[in-house]
């Protein structure tokens, strides 16, 4: 697989692997053995960039990723995230105080079984802690050799600039796809100006762009999509023209809708590295193959124009989670 560079020098595969869904966020939770099998198959396919977080599980996702990648540690880039406080094993709010960052990063190093975290993100901006303090703490961790690169997640343009002035930001992680293009307004121009890479999560709209989810598709109570306003039947119906177009183009190209959606994303900028996740090896193989799908300018423009028609009035998250997004 071709590689891409995030920030000033973090080289990763053009497509990464988002590990969250292996055991967090959706109704299915794979056993550790199956999870490790999926991650190691990704390595075989040329994926070198793996994304996890303290809150996934919580905590157990980091352990799975660490064990799966231990045999190839020197060949891969591992990203994790800090910033959530916990009441036992349940997230209870945000906490990016310097002392808490240090203690939780030490815990992540232990769970991952590594001496250094390749890319450390602040998972959500903490309004009670100045971003300069956060960036300064990560800068110290970099100087100590515990962290290699600093990242932010769901941060707004002004926050990115303030953090970058203290410690260069290598990558921003936020949602971005044909189904959700808000970053194009202010985030992507800021990243381009500052030389920061972009790591889109949910690049397939949490499954919506694969063509496998219809307006009547049920979500169980332990599936995160059951709580998200943008996954109501009405919102899914509003995206039907885009899903139909993806299917039509996929048929013409002997590809799949997911591959076309990922190809569109890869074509936006050379410093974008999507991190689709899956629990199925055949879907993993399908996603990785998207790196070979080429769209013409006309096809990209048609997808963009159809995406423009989607009503984005519904929030991505329930009110409590929506307030954690810094814009």
Closest CA to 129 of 93, 105, 103: 93
Closest CA to 25 of 255, 204, 253, 226: 226
∠ CA 13-16-19, nearest 5°, is 150
In the chain, which ranges are continuous DSSP H helix? Answer: 32-44, 60-69, 98-112, 131-143, 157-166, 187-194, 233-238, 240-252, 257-266, 281-289, 297-308, 319-322
Q: How far is CA 201 from CA 12, 18, 112, 144, 221, in A?
A: 15, 7, 21, 29, 22
Which residues carry out catalysis? 56
In angstroms, the CA 137 to CA 99 distance is: 9
Tokens of 161: 């600039």
In angstroms, the CA 36 to CA 33 distance is: 5
Over its C-alpha atoms, the chain yields an Rg (Å, rounded) of 19
């Amino acid at each position: 697989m071709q590689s891409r560079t995030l920030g000033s020098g973090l080289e990763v595969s053009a497509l990464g692997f988002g590990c969250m869904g292996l055991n967090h966020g959706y109704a299915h939770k794979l056993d550790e053995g199956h999870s490790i099998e999926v991650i190691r198959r990704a390595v075989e396919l040329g994926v070198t960039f793996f994304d996890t977080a303290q809150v996934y599980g919580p905590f157990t996702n980091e352990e799975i990723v660490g064990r799966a990648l231990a045999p190839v540690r020197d060949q891969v880039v591992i990203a994790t995230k800090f910033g959530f406080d916990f009441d036992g094993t349940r997230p209870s709010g945000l906490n990016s105080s310097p002392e808490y960052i240090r203690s939780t990063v030490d815990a992540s190093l232990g769970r991952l079984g590594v001496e250094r975290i390749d890319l450390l993100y602040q998972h959500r901006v903490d309004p009670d802690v100045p971003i300069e303090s956060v960036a300064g703490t990560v800068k110290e961790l970099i100087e100590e050799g515990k962290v290699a690169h600093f990242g932010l997640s769901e941060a707004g343009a002004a926050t990115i600039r303030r953090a970058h002035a203290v410690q260069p930001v290598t990558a921003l992680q936020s949602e971005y796809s044909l189904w959700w293009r808000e970053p194009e307004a202010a985030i992507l121009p800021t990243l381009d100006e500052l030389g920061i890479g972009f790591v889109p999560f949910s690049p397939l709209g949490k499954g919506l762009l694969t063509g496998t989810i219809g307006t009547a598709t049920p979500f169980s109570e332990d599936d995160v999509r059951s709580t998200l306003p943008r996954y109501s039947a009405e919102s899914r119906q509003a995206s039907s023209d885009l899903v139909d177009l993806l299917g039509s183009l996929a048929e013409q190209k002997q590809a799949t809708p997911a591959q076309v959606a990922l190809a569109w994303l890869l074509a936006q900028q050379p410093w974008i590295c999507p991190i689709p996740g899956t629990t199925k090896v055949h879907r993993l193989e399908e996603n990785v193959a998207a790196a070979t799908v080429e769209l013409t300018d006309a096809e990209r423009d048609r997808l963009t124009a159809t995406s423009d028609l989607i009503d984005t009035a519904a929030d991505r998250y329930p009110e409590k989670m929506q307030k954690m997004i810094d814009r």
